[in-house]
């Protein structure tokens, strides 16, 4: 469930920590903050994507290639990545299962995205998506993602760095 009063890990434009602020304040005032992005890739070269719930405050109803979210004021990128997978799709993993790829500075969203990859060959039917976060999950290849994006740019939420992850598939 989205909590507009949740305290987020706020930073300056160089990713140096500053005083935490509420999610609502961060978005209204355009304050830099941290997020985690976790890409699930299987051995067939497909990426686990999801359609965002219509209740989301950002990109509702759009498809996304990664899971994740805002980092709480008392979390690291890695801790957030692990907890976000559990909260969003009920997937329990260990920190060592994740590979940190990079920190991406997203100017348009005033975010520093901690980007991780998880190699996962599990079954979608075993996941339990959080209804306030996710409507549906599906496996897509990078080509399928880009074909769908090119047909309907408003139907997909891509993070500006997707090609760097597609190269890892």
CB within 8 Å of 123: residues ≥ 6 apart: none
Q: How far is CA 153 from CA 9, 10, 19, 150, 166, in A?
A: 30, 30, 36, 6, 18
Boundaries of every domain in the chain = 7-166
Q: How far apart are CA 61 and CA 54, in angstroms?
A: 5
Q: Which tens digit of pLDDT belongs to each residue from 59-90?
A: 899 999 999 999 999 999 999 999 999 999 99
Pick the CATH number of 7-166 from 3.90.79.10, 2.160.20.10, 3.40.830.10, 3.40.50.12500: 3.90.79.10
- Residue 131 has φ and ψ, to the nearest 5°, of -60, -30
**Could you read off the pLDDT of 18-51 as tens digits, one per residue?**
999 999 999 999 999 999 999 999 999 999 999 9
Q: What pLDDT shows up at residue 140?
A: 98
Q: From the CB of residue 17, how many other CB atoms can be counted at a distance below 10 Å?
A: 11
Q: Is the pLDDT of residue 1 over 60?
A: no
Q: Does residue 107 sit in helix, strand or coil?
A: coil
CA separation (Å) from 17 to 84, 148, 162? Answer: 21, 38, 26
């Amino acid at each position: 469930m989205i909590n507009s009063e949740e305290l987020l890990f706020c930073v300056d434009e160089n990713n140096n920590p500053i005083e935490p602020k509420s999610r609502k304040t961060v978005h209204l005032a355009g304050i830099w903050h941290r997020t985690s992005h976790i890409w699930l890739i299987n051995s067939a070269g497909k990426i686990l994507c999801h359609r965002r719930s219509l209740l989301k405050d950002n990109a509702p109803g759009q498809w996304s290639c990664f899971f994740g979210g805002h980092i709480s004021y008392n979390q690291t990128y890695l801790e957030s990545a692990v907890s976000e997978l559990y909260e969003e799709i009920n997937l329990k993993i260990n920190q060592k299962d994740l590979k940190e790829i990079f920190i991406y500075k997203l100017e348009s969203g005033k975010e520093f995205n901690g980007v991780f990859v998880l190699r996962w060959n599990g079954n979608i039917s075993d996941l339990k998506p959080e209804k306030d976060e996710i409507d549906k999950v599906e496996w897509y290849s990078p080509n399928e993602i880009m074909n769908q994006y090119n047909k309907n740019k408003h139907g997909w939420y891509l993070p500006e760095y997707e090609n760097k992850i597609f190269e890892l598939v």
